[in-house]
Structure 1
Amino acid sequence: MPELPDLQVFSRNLTKALKGKTLAKVHVLNHKKLNVPVKELQEAIEGQILTEVKRVGKELHLEFKNGHVLGLHLMLHGQLSLFNKHSEQKYTIIELLFDDDTGLTLSDFQAAATPTLDPQDPGVPDALDFDLDYLKEKLAATRTAIKTVLLDQHVLRGIGNAYADEILWDAKLSPFSASNKIPDAQIKVLAKSIKHVLEDAEKQIIKTHPDIISGEVRDFMQVHSSKKKQTSTGETIHQKPVGSRKTYYTDEQQLFS
């Protein structure tokens, strides 16, 4: 599943490709995934100029000049593809065709990816824009394993399984630590690691895949890898589930319980 750094790059590249274009037609091939009737979506955004594509949490938001927004959540296997005049994509959920014959499709062989007209703001801070005191408050309120808390989109938006492992390794904090047992000094380190790891990952993706708008890039990761046995610093990588998630970690990550 694409995570925050991937989606950051997608949003930049899609804005570059589509900004200023007028949406001529929207086709919804899987209307069950849409939150409104197809006609309502068409009336809202057809004929409108696309002003920007933003990442919001784990979604991409296509913003139009009239104020309407089309949210796209790729879920686990959603794919975005640009096309000219005609799309060759299978399993298409929604297709946007602009006035210059360029287009964008969202497809998913599992039919789980979701388009949403004018998605509501959940009122949860983004993983790149949160207050340290907020994080301390959330962690103090639960004994849940810290990795599970980082994955909770009702606490911070944007972090997924792979980057939770990378963040916790960078902070030298065990993913099995009870959240309310983590001292303030370590929470401060964690907060810095969240922003550092996510921002650095975006730079790494741009460096090797500058035009990417779909998929995920993981080859630069330090610990979250089924192929690696050791980190770049020589630490042995272990793998164990946290809940239903595969979790990669090292013995050097401190456990608070």
Structure 2
Amino acid sequence: MPEIPDLNIFSSNLSRRLVGKTLASIHIPISRQLKVSENVIQEALEGQPLTAINRIGKELHFLFGNGHVLSIHLMLHGTMYWYENENTSRFTIAELLFADGTGLAVTDWQKAVILTLDPKPNGVPDAMDLPAGYLKTALAKLSKPIKTVLTDGKTVQGIGNAYVDEILYAAKISPFSKANKIPEAHIEVLTQAIKNVLTDAENHIRGNFPDTITEKERDFLQVHRPKQTLTLKGEVILKAELDKRKTYYTESQQLFE
């Protein structure tokens, strides 16, 4: 699943190529995830200039000149591809064709990508913009495992399965720790780890794949390494399942319960 580091790069690369262009047509051949009809989306967006593309949590928001917004949530396996005039990509969920012939195809073999017209804000702070002291107050009210809290989107936006493992590894906190049992000092470390891990990952991906709009390798990750048995530092990777999510961690991560 693309997470904050990937989506920040996608957003900037899509913006560089598309912002300022007029959307000539949008076609959504797989419409089962839509909350409104394809016709409603076409009437709202076609003929409008694209004014900005922003990342909101795990979504990309395409802002148009008339104020309408198209949100794209790539889910687990959604992928985007460029095309010129004619889209030949398989498993296409949506295709956006701009007036100059530039096209963007959104595909997903699982057909799970979610497109939303004019999504409503949910008020949950983004992982990269947490208010001072926010986690201390929020975690005190929650007894669920900290991994669940950080990934369910109800407390923090934008963190998914891979990077939550990386963040908790960096903070030396077990993913099974109860959120309201984590000491204040460790919450401060966790808050800093969120920003550091996501920033470092974005810098790595941008440095190696500066023009990408598709998810790339994650061999640089420290502990979320499904095909490996050791971290990059040589620690044994422990594997478990938490709330149906594959979880990777080490014995060095402290359990608070």
State the TM-score bracket (shorter-chain normalisation): over 0.9
User: Take 1:136 and 1:69, find their aligned partners in 2: how far apart are those partners?
Assistant: 33
The question of 1:136 aligning with 2:136 is answered yes
Matching residue's letter, 1:252: S
Aligned residue in 1 for 2:224 = 224
User: Take 2:69 and 2:227, find their aligned partners in 1: how far apart are those partners?
Assistant: 40
The question of 1:24 aligning with 2:24 is answered yes
State how 1:75-90 maps to structure 2 within 5 Å.
Answer: 75-90=75-90
TM-score by length of 2: 0.96
Q: In 2, are the aligned partners of 1:2 and 1:216 still within 8 Å (CA)?
A: no
1:70-117 deviations in Å (ceiling 9; x for gaps)? 100111111111100100012212111101011111111111101111
After TM superposition, give the deviation of residue 67 of structure 1 in Å.
1.2
Matching residue's letter, 2:111: A
User: Take 1:59 and 1:216, find their aligned partners in 2: how far apart are those partners?
Assistant: 18
> 5+ residue gaps in structure 2?
none
Helix, strand or coil at the partner of 1:55: strand
Aligned residue in 1 for 2:38 = 38
Q: In 2, are the aligned partners of 1:23 and 1:50 still within 8 Å (CA)?
A: yes
The question of 1:108 aligning with 2:108 is answered yes
**Comparing 230-239 with 105-114, which one deviates more in the overlay?**
230-239
> 5+ residue gaps in structure 1?
none
User: Take 1:234 and 1:101, find their aligned partners in 2: how far apart are those partners?
Assistant: 50
After TM superposition, give the deviation of residue 231 of structure 1 in Å.
2.3
User: Take 2:85 and 2:150, find their aligned partners in 1: how far apart are those partners?
Assistant: 42
Count, aligned residues: 257
After TM superposition, give the deviation of residue 69 of structure 1 in Å.
0.7
1:160-195 deviations in Å (ceiling 9; x for gaps)? 010000000000111111111101110000000001
After TM superposition, give the deviation of residue 234 of structure 1 in Å.
2.9
State how 1:202-221 maps to structure 2 within 5 Å.
Answer: 202-221=202-221
RMSD, aligned CA: 1.2
State how 1:1-257 maps to structure 2 within 5 Å.
Answer: 1-257=1-257
**Comparing 164-173 with 223-232, which one deviates more in the overlay?**
223-232
Q: In 1, are the aligned partners of 2:142 and 2:180 still within 8 Å (CA)?
A: yes
After TM superposition, give the deviation of residue 229 of structure 1 in Å.
2.4
After TM superposition, give the deviation of residue 215 of structure 1 in Å.
2.4
TM-score by length of 1: 0.96
**Comparing 95-104 with 241-250, which one deviates more in the overlay?**
241-250
Helix, strand or coil at the partner of 1:31: coil
After TM superposition, give the deviation of residue 138 of structure 1 in Å.
1.7
User: Take 2:240 and 2:25, find their aligned partners in 1: how far apart are those partners?
Assistant: 47
**Comparing 189-198 with 20-29, which one deviates more in the overlay?**
20-29
User: Take 1:252 and 1:116, find their aligned partners in 2: how far apart are those partners?
Assistant: 42
User: Take 1:198 and 1:94, find their aligned partners in 2: how far apart are those partners?
Assistant: 29
User: Take 2:141 and 2:63, find their aligned partners in 1: how far apart are those partners?
Assistant: 36
User: Take 2:240 and 2:111, find their aligned partners in 1: how far apart are those partners?
Assistant: 30
Q: In 2, are the aligned partners of 1:34 and 1:114 still within 8 Å (CA)?
A: yes
Q: In 1, are the aligned partners of 2:225 and 2:231 still within 8 Å (CA)?
A: no
User: Take 2:11 and 2:217, find their aligned partners in 1: how far apart are those partners?
Assistant: 15
